[in-house]
Amino acid sequence: MGRKPKISPLQKHGVLVLNKPSGPTSADCLNSIKRELKQYKIGHAGTLDPLAEGVLLVMLGNATKLGPYLTGHDKVYSGSLTIGRTTDTYDIQGTETSTGDISGITEKMVEDEILAWNDLTSQEVPAYSAAKHNGKPLYELARNGEETPIKIKSIEIFDAEPLEVTLPMARFRVGCSAGTYIRSLVHSLGSRLGCGAVMESLRREESRPYRLSEAHDLDDVLADPDGFEARVIPLADALPHWHRFTVTGTMAASIRNGARIPVEDVCTDGLKIFEGERAMFLDHEGTALALMETKQIDGRLHWVILRGLWG
């Protein structure tokens, strides 16, 4: 029999917006919170590479059920790159694989290539990434010297802009769809310039709907156990970009039993609700009850359960 998961009386249920430091892995940060603050039920939405820093959404307790609804949103990053070299990981933490002549490269050329990111609709997945092939992460294949298949994924880039270019360095900001590899954007820039490029630093400024201004430093979180609860966004407030409805005790019981709820039984204030919209439902005490989505059933629009949050 498997080992039963630990249960902590200190377990919180909500989202911690963490300002991940550069250096540790995302998992390292979670393990520190788990160990030091007894948060045994924990997960995160959207991994950051060890080199990267910035917004990491940490899900606690029942909020771990929110993963699919927090990971798929747009991100905003700022970072820096150096032209004239390449590494196997596309960043400065990898092993150098080539150097290139930058004598013919101008600052305007680098600026134009950063702006050209806005036109990209796909990118190559780095060999050193968590993307899987036949059930194995690509980084595991790469570290074992095995051939890594070329994987292409669709992306959306918006608001890519150069912030400062002083050769061989450049700073940039870019908004992108979830799952975009900024290292690959940098690598592609170096390939187009013909001299190579590596990512020097990266900061996630937004993991929508959350921003860096809302994030808490890991050291501060760990040093203040008594203040931890105040830093956690309650489960009921964890999806601020969704509709939110409070229902009666009778309707809450129906939802717990898997019932579909006619939209007009909830939305009585003139709010227009269409098919495919989503909402957080709360019981009369303000406790998170379920994530719901509207669907047409027998010619009538109903709220149906996406994910129960009770218990």
The span from the CA of 175 to the CA of 161, in Å, is 9
Residues 156-170: what's their mean pLDDT? 97
Hunting for tokens 């690509």 — which residue is that? 138
pLDDT(95) > 60: yes
- Residue 8 C-alpha from the chain's centroid: 26
Token digits of residue 29: 């940060």
Task: Report residue 179 as tokens.
Answer: 């799952």
Tell me whether residue 217 is one of the annotated catalytic residues.
Answer: no
Provide the pairing of β-strand 169-176 with 157-166.
antiparallel
Average pLDDT rounded to a whole number, residues 282-295: 95
Provide the 3-class DSSP secondary structure of residue 252: helix
Is the pLDDT reported for residue 131 higher than 60?
no
**What backbone phi and psi angles, to 5 degrees, belong to 233?**
-75, 120
CB 189 within 8 A of CB 105: no
Walk me through the domains of the chain, giving residue ranges and CATH numbers: 14-73+210-237 (3.30.2350.10), 75-207 (3.30.2350.10), 243-308 (2.30.130.10)
Which is more confident, 268 or 170? 170
C-alpha distance across the termini of the chain, in Å: 24
Q: 297: closest CA among 275, 278, 273?
A: 275
pTM of the model: 0.90
Of 28, 49, 112, 298, the catalytic one is: 49
Residue 212 has pLDDT above 60, yes or no: yes
Tokens of 117: 């990111």
Minimum mean pLDDT among 56-70, 163-177, 262-276: which range? 262-276
Q: What single letter denotes the amino acid at residue 202?
A: L
Token reading at 33? 């919170």
Instruction: Print burial letters for 97-108: b (CB count within 10 Å at least 16), e (below 16).
Output: eeebebeebeee
**Predicted local distance difference test score (pLDDT) of residue 307:** 96
Cα–Cα distances (Å) from 42 to 16, 17, 27, 166, 306, in that order, read 10, 13, 10, 42, 21
Q: How far apart are CA 283 and CA 40, in angstroms?
A: 26
The three-state (H, E, C) secondary structure of 41-97, written as one string = CEEEECCCCCCCEEEEEEEEHHHHHHHHHHCCCCEEEEEEEEECEEECCCECCCCEE
Tell whether the model's pLDDT for residue 268 goes beyond 70.
no
